[in-house]
Structure 1
Amino acid sequence: MSAPKFDDLLSRVIRYLPDSHQNHRNPIGASQRLAVTLRYLATGIGLQALSASYKMGTSTVSGIVEEMCSAIWDALQGEFMAFPSRGQWQDIAEEFWRQWQFPLCVGAIDGKHVRLRAPARSGSDYYNNKGFFSIALMAAADANYRFIYVDVGAYGRESDGGVLGRSAFGSRLAEGNLNLPAPAVLPGTTTPSPYFFLGDEAFPLQVNLIVPIQDRKRIYNYRQARARRVVENAFGILAARFRIFGRLIDCQPEKAVKIVKACVALHNFLASTERARYMPASFVDTTADTGEVQPGEWRQARPSQRAALVREQLADYFLSDAGVFPHQYNVLRLGTDQ
């Protein structure tokens, strides 16, 4: 984020912040509160380390982050997370056709687990099938990697299909009440089709929600997976730019929801107003002339993938002539041919 963009963001959120002069003689300025919050979201630094670097109390920093995250969402969601009109749905579909050659698509839907400290007395509600505690982030993205809608806070144990079905968006989707454009013909044909979202196998097939076909139609599945990469990229960019998603969020679910919503709003804000800086062309997946997908830089920016690469390099090194330890095979009783 550039300095002018920081000032722009500050001017938007400041009106949603409570007047700290009422409670403090020497209040912390709004610009410093915003800087503290952005550093927390962008780096994933712990609250204790963050409070030490700004010479504030941990509880003070925690309160600043929660208050500012709420203000960021309130300030940005009306403009950058507004629900599309019928004309805007058509614009989204045109972009999907132009960029991803998939007709009448108005968004790609997927879910993401946001790692969370185990809430007290929550049992297994937040324990997901991946083996950790989380809240669910369900979202739809447009062709330009911006989020059209998000639903945050469902129990981690719920499936993607269950989270979508119980959300207000999912209910309106199933009932056909999203104000989507009237059915149109597929390009170059006279075949009519409704507008729809793309999902993976975790979602139920609906008129306005199209999922892969099992065991056949390889061309269709390839084309659908290619178009669905936009939501995978949107999540990837979000996690790469806001490293808070790369660590366990050490707070209660209600506060974690505010943090996630602030990051989503900032993602759309920066993707819309400072795209070249926030996600340059090389940062996202692209398709070569041969049809092969070229991975974007956000994939290399993920700490887990870098760590996995380092581990694989070490594993190979320990098996090589240069890195072998004379007694390693004897100790493990595997034999020197392993």
Structure 2
Amino acid sequence: MDDEQLIAAALLNSVACFAAAVHVRNKRRKKRRVWVKPWFQRRGLAGKSGISWLPKAGEAEAEREFLGFLTSAQFEMLLERVRPSITRKDTKMRLAVSARERLSVTLRYLTTGETFGAVGLQYRIACATVSQIVLETCEALYRVLKAELVETPTTAAEWRSVAEEFQLRWQFPHCVGALGGKLLHCSAKAQSSMLMMAIADAKYKFLYVNVSSEETDLDAGVFWKSEVKAALDGGRLNLPLPGPLPNTGTEAPYVFVGDTAYPLRTDLMTPYPSREIEHHEGIFNYRLYRAHRVVENAFGILATRWRIFQTSVSLQPSKLAKIALAAVCLHNFLCEQRSEAYINRDLVDREEGAEHCLVEGTWRADGLGVFRPVPRKEEAKNSTAKAVQQRDALTEYFNSPAGMLPWHEPT
């Protein structure tokens, strides 16, 4: 065999070896992944509903999960407001998830506490897409609804209106809001928590809310570095000037009420320390706790109605903050709608009988979920003499014929 024949044979052998290698590689190559799973592509074929892939019976059952306290009309109102912010365009690769579906998915996630994956299976949407939809929609809800629904009063007249409601419902004069805070526990990081500080009015609506994006430094206190303290110190809240207490000519300032996690100030009343208090001081504490209970109940409603807060939320703190702020807007929306299904008689604490005996709301059976109590601290020693005198003056008023309650008379 001459040289040319040897070369030709070697080339043929090389080609054969290469072809064999390609064949083996193709056999071993994984099946190409699809852009959208086939069963996800069938989403939306049954109609235009946000849960259109379900049969009609299943659709009605799924809607009841969040329409138990949100009517179809209220759903449409929310959709109309948030639609421009959550509408996405179709692409050549796939159809966009509609704004209706996005809002429906988000409400189901918030109200049921199911995982992104579980919600995705019900809507035939990928888990990662559900996660993105929920966070984007929550962010849009807060951005669109905040200015309208989480309104901190800015004028003296608006604050007086809040105070009148507290006097009417809870018999605490000159109270412009109940100040409270909770730790938002996030399971994404061990022992990680954020502080959620809020002010509630007499009807459980949030007037102010702030969620820290960083882990809370409790050693520095929950109030000292807050926006609320800065606004009070700077006189930016425009609280009304002191006025006469009901049935008297005694002038008294307008104040917030807080618990033992907050300092006693001339604009913030807190209880007498629980150790060895006198009976008349106990009367003051009783009156203050009645007024302050609204913010505790507001957090309780939030945790009970939006079941996501009853689960172990494995999200980064910044993402949990977006969900919490959106839930506050939805809470205020339903408060303004006066939804009895959302806040029914048994859900919140109430008083019954001639003695106004306290009956705890059903929310307490579920607890606060990821909302954890802020560690209590005894009254700060640096309370001003004027603040102490002001609390003593209110105590005297509550123990006097002009200010006492018929069912809770001093003895």
1:107 to 177, 186, 195: 177
Distance 1:30 1:154 in 2: 28
1:195 to 254, 258, 261: 254
Gaps of 5+ in 2: 1-69, 370-411
Residue equivalent to 1:139: 198
Distance 1:246 1:33 in 2: 22
Following TM superposition, by how much is the alpha carbon of 1:297 offset from its aligned partner in structure 2, in angstroms? 2.5
Within 5 Å, which residues of 2 pair with 1:60-99?
60-86=129-155, 87-99=157-169
- Residue identity in the other structure for 2:228: F
Whether contact under 8 Å (2:187, 2:315) holds in the other structure is yes
SS in 2 for 1:282: coil
Distance 2:107 2:283 in 1: 43
- Residue identity in the other structure for 1:252: Q
Whether contact under 8 Å (1:137, 1:154) holds in the other structure is no
Tell me if 1:285 matches 2:349: yes
Within 5 Å, which residues of 2 pair with 1:218-257?
218-257=282-321
Residue equivalent to 2:240: 181
Distance 1:162 1:152 in 2: 15
Tell me if 1:264 matches 2:328: yes
Point out the more displaced range, 20-29 or 56-65. Answer: 20-29
SS in 1 for 2:340: helix
Whether contact under 8 Å (2:154, 2:237) holds in the other structure is no
Residue equivalent to 1:58: 127
Residue equivalent to 2:73: 4
SS in 2 for 1:114: strand
- Residue identity in the other structure for 2:158: Q
Give the direction of change, closer, same or farther, for the CA distance of 1:61–1:55 in structure 2 (3 Å limit).
same
1:33 to 102, 110, 113: 102
Following TM superposition, by how much is the alpha carbon of 1:88 offset from its aligned partner in structure 2, in angstroms? 1.6
SS in 1 for 2:283: helix
Distance 1:106 1:23 in 2: 55
Distance 2:144 2:295 in 1: 24
SS in 1 for 2:302: helix
Output one character per residue of 1:65-102: Cα deviation in whole Å (capped at 9) or x when no partner: 01100111112111111221322211110000000000
SS in 2 for 1:108: strand
Give the direction of change, closer, same or farther, for the CA distance of 1:303–1:204 in structure 2 (3 Å limit).
closer
Residue equivalent to 2:392: none
Report the RMSD for the aligned CA atoms in angstroms: 2.0
Whether contact under 8 Å (1:286, 1:295) holds in the other structure is yes
**TM-score between the two structures when normalised by the length of structure 2:** 0.68
SS in 2 for 1:230: helix
Larger-Rg structure: 2
Point out the more displaced range, 286-295 or 265-274. Answer: 286-295
Distance 2:321 2:266 in 1: 31
SS in 2 for 1:275: coil
State percent identity of aligned pairs: 41
Residue equivalent to 2:228: 169
Residue equivalent to 1:116: 186
- Residue identity in the other structure for 1:300: A
Distance 2:253 2:268 in 1: 10
2:218 to 159, 165, 188: 159
Distance 1:160 1:28 in 2: 46
Gaps of 5+ in 1: 120-126, 305-338
- Residue identity in the other structure for 2:355: T
Residue equivalent to 2:362: 297
SS in 2 for 1:235: helix
Whether contact under 8 Å (2:187, 2:312) holds in the other structure is yes
Distance 1:84 1:22 in 2: 44
Distance 1:79 1:23 in 2: 38
Whether contact under 8 Å (1:81, 1:149) holds in the other structure is yes
**TM-score between the two structures when normalised by the length of structure 1:** 0.82
Within 5 Å, which residues of 2 pair with 1:323-334?
none
Output one character per residue of 1:215-235: Cα deviation in whole Å (capped at 9) or x when no partner: 421100111111111001000
Following TM superposition, by how much is the alpha carbon of 1:294 offset from its aligned partner in structure 2, in angstroms? 1.2
Point out the more displaced range, 228-237 or 293-302. Answer: 293-302
Whether contact under 8 Å (1:40, 1:46) holds in the other structure is yes
Output one character per residue of 1:302-324: Cα deviation in whole Å (capped at 9) or x when no partner: 497xxxxxxxxxxxxxxxxxxxx
